Amino acid sequence: MKKIALLFALLLLFASNSCKEEETNVPSAFANISAVISGAINLEYSGAGLVTTATLDSSLVLNLGTSTRINNKLCMLGVFIFFRDFQEKTGTFQFANRNDVIPGDFAIGTFDYGEGNSRKQFISDSGWVEITKLEGNTVRGTFYFRAKEKTTGEVIEVQNGVIVF
């Protein structure tokens, strides 16, 4: 139950940070996160965003949140890395299923598509993120995750993900 509450708190934090971004298409040269999304939604994502950290009871969380408009729909993609020892580090982190309890460091990926009643919220259930550089607000890496929409069960794959903050 604590894990679910933590996840929703992070999603709210992500949404509030992402909503502060300009809601226009961002040229790919300025993207902080890019990826190819396939499955229930098919598009090439390229968004600008923020690097923030938050301290929770059980972890230090690195928030990599981005947003953009694609096909006149608001899109937000986020990668959250949970450092259980409260120490940021490079390495490969597995995306967790929101019901799993993971010992050690792990990640959660999110993708939101649309607004209001038509908004779809996808949460990772598997995958990985590899962080190769992490110095202050400079973050570099790659990622892949599979995600399910929280109410309909629709599935997407977020592939060829690149992080450049």
Task: Quick: pLDDT tens for 53-81.
Answer: 999 888 999 999 999 999 999 999 999 99
**Residue spans per domain, the chain:** 2-164
Please name the residues in contact with 96: beta carbons below 8 A apart, sequence gap of 6 or more: 102, 106, 107, 108, 124
Strand partners, 39: 156
Averaged pLDDT of the chain: 83
**Do 129 and 143 form a contact (C-beta atoms < 8 A)?**
yes
Pick the closest to residue 53 from 34, 81, 33 (CA basis). Answer: 81
Is the whole model's pTM more than 0.95, yes or no?
no
Rounded distance between C-alpha atoms, residue 11 and residue 78, angstroms: 9
Q: Radius of gyration of the chain from Cα atoms? A: 14
Tokens of 96: 């967790």
Instruction: Give the pLDDT band of residue 133 (cuts 50, 70, 90).
Output: very high
State yes or no: pLDDT of 19 exceeds 50.
Answer: no
Tokens of 43: 């598009």
Task: Quick: pLDDT tens for 75-117.
Answer: 999 999 999 999 999 999 999 865 666 678 999 999 999 999 9
